[in-house]
């Protein structure tokens, strides 16, 4: 068998074949320079039904409070590659004992004005860092506490703060979006 008219085993005399072998020989080196596939792997959502207000996620990091920032827990959630930082008042050593493990808890945030866009998807913005904007579907409403629970890739308990806005204006499965005030928090459910 020949390649572009080159007799077999004469790679040096066939520039096309020589280039192919050169590129193939560089693959192990190029692969070692890429980030690990496990580091960016998205884990599927567990199928066990739980309370729709509970967020199921993996604790990636626990940060001590500093002079300028409160204590934080960095979480990832199934079906995405988010690394979202939330304030926490939970015991930091207890949270550290769950590093790398999937846990359940509640995410709380204060919503600025909640809008109903015509298009979009479930998400927390930015994907890395503290939440500033969330989009998703309403999964629960508490009109007495003026609270919506939104599935934004993870359930978020949103307290409505915009003047004249009331939780009873919304219904289950409404698609909503809002900016959130600084201070979104995570509380571990024991």
The predicted pLDDT at position 13 comes to 57
The predicted pLDDT at position 37 comes to 42
User: Does residue 77 share a domain with residue 147?
Assistant: yes
User: Does residue 102 share a domain with residue 9?
Assistant: no
Residue 131 maps to a domain:
yes
Cβ-based burial of 18 (10 A; exposed 0-12, middle 13-18, buried ≥19): middle
pLDDT grade, residue 14 (50/70/90)?
low
Give percent above pLDDT 90 in the chain.
69
Nearest to 173 by CA among 128, 141, 126, 143: 141
In the chain, how many domains are there? Answer: 2
Phi, psi of 176 (to 5 degrees): -135, 160
Q: Which whole number is the average pLDDT over 31-36?
A: 46
**Whether the predicted pLDDT of 143 surpasses 70:** yes
User: Does residue 105 share a domain with residue 141?
Assistant: yes
pLDDT grade, residue 79 (50/70/90)?
confident
**Whether the predicted pLDDT of 133 surpasses 90:** yes
Q: Which whole number is the average pLDDT over 33-62?
A: 73
User: Does residue 71 share a domain with residue 20?
Assistant: no
Q: Which is more confident, 184 or 28?
A: 184
Q: Round the CA-based radius of gyration of the chain to a whole number and report it.
A: 24
User: Does residue 107 share a domain with residue 28?
Assistant: no
Residue 179 maps to a domain:
yes
Q: Which whole number is the average pLDDT over 170-179?
A: 97
pTM metric for this prediction: 0.75
User: Does residue 154 share a domain with residue 67?
Assistant: yes
User: Does residue 108 share a domain with residue 150?
Assistant: yes
Distance CA 176, CA 152 (A): 9
Residue 41 maps to a domain:
no
**Whether the predicted pLDDT of 125 surpasses 70:** yes
User: Does residue 99 share a domain with residue 153?
Assistant: yes
Residue 40 maps to a domain:
no
The predicted pLDDT at position 46 comes to 66
Nearest to 103 by CA among 54, 61, 65: 54
Domain of 2, in residue numbers: 1-34
Phi, psi of 59 (to 5 degrees): -80, 120
The predicted pLDDT at position 35 comes to 46
For all residues of the chain together, what is the average pLDDT?
A: 85
Residue 48 maps to a domain:
no
Q: Which is more confident, 72 or 51?
A: 72
User: Does residue 75 share a domain with residue 9?
Assistant: no
Distance CA 171, CA 138 (A): 7
**Whether the predicted pLDDT of 36 surpasses 50:** no
User: Does residue 79 share a domain with residue 10?
Assistant: no
Residue 42 maps to a domain:
no
Residue 45 maps to a domain:
no
Q: Which whole number is the average pLDDT over 106-114?
A: 98
User: Does residue 103 share a domain with residue 19?
Assistant: no
Tokens 């940060």 belong to residue: 63
User: Does residue 173 share a domain with residue 89?
Assistant: yes
Distance CA 113, CA 128 (A): 23
> Residue 49: CB partners within 8 Å, gap ≥ 6?
none
Residue 23, SS3 per DSSP = helix
Residue 82 maps to a domain:
yes
Q: Which whole number is the average pLDDT over 1-26?
A: 51
């Amino acid at each position: 068998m020949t390649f572009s008219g080159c007799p077999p085993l004469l790679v040096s005399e066939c520039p096309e074949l020589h280039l192919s072998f050169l590129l193939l020989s560089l693959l192990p080196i190029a692969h070692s320079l890429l980030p690990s596939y496990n580091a960016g792997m998205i884990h599927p959502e567990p199928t066990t039904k739980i309370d729709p207000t509970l967020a199921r996620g993996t604790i990636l990091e626990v940060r001590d409070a500093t002079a300028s920032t409160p204590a934080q827990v960095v979480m990832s959630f199934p079906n995405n590659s988010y690394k979202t930082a939330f304030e926490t008042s939970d015991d930091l050593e207890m949270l550290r004992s769950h590093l790398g493990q999937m846990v359940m808890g509640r995410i709380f945030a204060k919503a600025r004005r909640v809008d109903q866009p015509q298009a979009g998807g479930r998400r927390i913005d930015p994907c890395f860092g503290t939440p500033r904007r969330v989009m998703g579907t309403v999964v629960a409403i508490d009109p007495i506490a003026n609270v919506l629970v939104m599935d934004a890739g993870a359930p978020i308990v949103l307290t409505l703060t915009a003047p004249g806005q009331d939780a009873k204006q919304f219904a289950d499965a409404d698609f909503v979006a809002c900016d959130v005030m600084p201070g979104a928090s995570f509380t571990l459910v024991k």
